[in-house]
Amino acid sequence: MRLAFFLGLMLCWLPGKVLAFGSIGHQQVCSLAYQLVKPDTRQQIDLLLAVGPEKQFAEGCIWPDEARREPAYQFTTPFHYLNVPRQQSQVKATDCAARGCLLSALKHYAALLKQPGQNRQRAEALLFYSHLIADLHQPLHVSYADDLGGNKTAVYYFGKPSNLHGIWDTAMLKSLGYADNQQLAAGKLAALPPATILQWQSGQPLVWAQQSLTQTRKVYQRYKPGMLFSQPELDRDGPLIETRLLQAAVRLAWQLDQLLQPAPGN
């Protein structure tokens, strides 16, 4: 049992598994956002996708995780997370590392998206910006460097070796049915009161990062070494990861409507 546990943890620490909201979450967020944006914004997205590394928006939102394994894009690795000291309860803009973080990257790619033209640079900016908005809403992407955002925090997920980051990235979404039902998130979004969606269309990345850190601190307060995460914990935390996924989609659409305004006369 102990050997299986540590083998599982080693698999979770392999390159490419660290610090990335799972593909399920990224596809769901971008698919929803694509449906939510204004028609003019959707047209701008399609024009950029035509010259970009991926031609479909939902699939393209996974691309930044694949790209950072390439030498030319390795500099983007720290863009996927934000680390703060464990004793810190409030996110500050100065928490961003010198080599960048979620907050600085979102600011950088937002500036590129505001520029005119359909070119490869803006197409990549669209995919990075959309991907990172989703990462920002996964609580453990705003976490602690010494634990790699929960990747080194061992737990059992329904009896199988796992870690906190993997649970929040992918495992809960799979258990909740998001891997097998592409319409599940859309149905939950449609059931929300308009006032709730309007409330989510506010704030900015620093505020959304604070929301993630607040939840991350709660996650660690409940953690015990080797703890079992099963149905009671899924019932408790599942609604939160669903809410964060929906918030990411609503806020991404809201931001893209502002960033991708067509040039006058178009």
Tens of pLDDT along 39-95? 999 999 999 999 999 999 999 999 999 999 999 999 999 999 999 999 999 999 999
Per the CB < 8 A criterion, the answer to whether 44 and 255 are in contact is: no
pLDDT of residue 15: 34
pLDDT of residue 131: 98
Q: What pTM, to 2 d.p., does this model score? A: 0.91
What does the pLDDT look like over 165-180, one tens digit per residue? 999 999 999 999 999 8
**Is it the case that residue 139 has pLDDT exceeding 50?**
yes
pLDDT of residue 13: 36
**Is it the case that residue 4 has pLDDT exceeding 80?**
no
E strand spans, 63-158: 82-83, 142-143, 154-157
- Radius of gyration for the alpha carbons in the chain, expressed in angstroms and rounded: 18
**Is it the case that residue 156 has pLDDT exceeding 90?**
yes
What does the pLDDT look like over 188-208, one tens digit per residue? 999 999 999 999 999 999 999
The DSSP letter of residue 115 is S
pLDDT of residue 247: 98
**Is it the case that residue 114 has pLDDT exceeding 60?**
yes
Mean pLDDT of the chain: 91
**Contacts of the segment 178-181: beta carbons below 8 A, 24+ positions apart:** 178/24, 178/25, 178/28, 178/245, 179/24
Name residue 43's amino acid: Q
What does the pLDDT look like over 217-262, one tens digit per residue? 999 999 988 899 999 999 999 999 999 999 999 999 999 999 998 7
Q: Is 229 left (phi over 0), alpha (psi -120 to 50) or beta?
A: beta
pLDDT of residue 261: 85
pLDDT of residue 235: 98
pLDDT of residue 254: 98
Q: Which are the contacts of 59, defined by CB distance < 8 A and separation ≥ 6?
A: 27
Q: Which are the contacts of 66, defined by CB distance < 8 A and separation ≥ 6?
A: none
**Is it the case that residue 98 has pLDDT exceeding 60?**
yes
Continuous H helices in 13-83: 23-36, 39-49, 57-60, 63-67
Pull the structure tokens for residue 77. Answer: 């690795």
CATH code at 2-259: 1.10.575.10
Mean pLDDT of 113-119: 95
pLDDT of residue 182: 80
pLDDT of residue 265: 55
Q: Is 19 left (phi over 0), alpha (psi -120 to 50) or beta?
A: left
- In the chain, % helix, strand, coil (3-state, to 5) comes to 65, 5, 30
Distance CA 172, CA 107 (A): 30
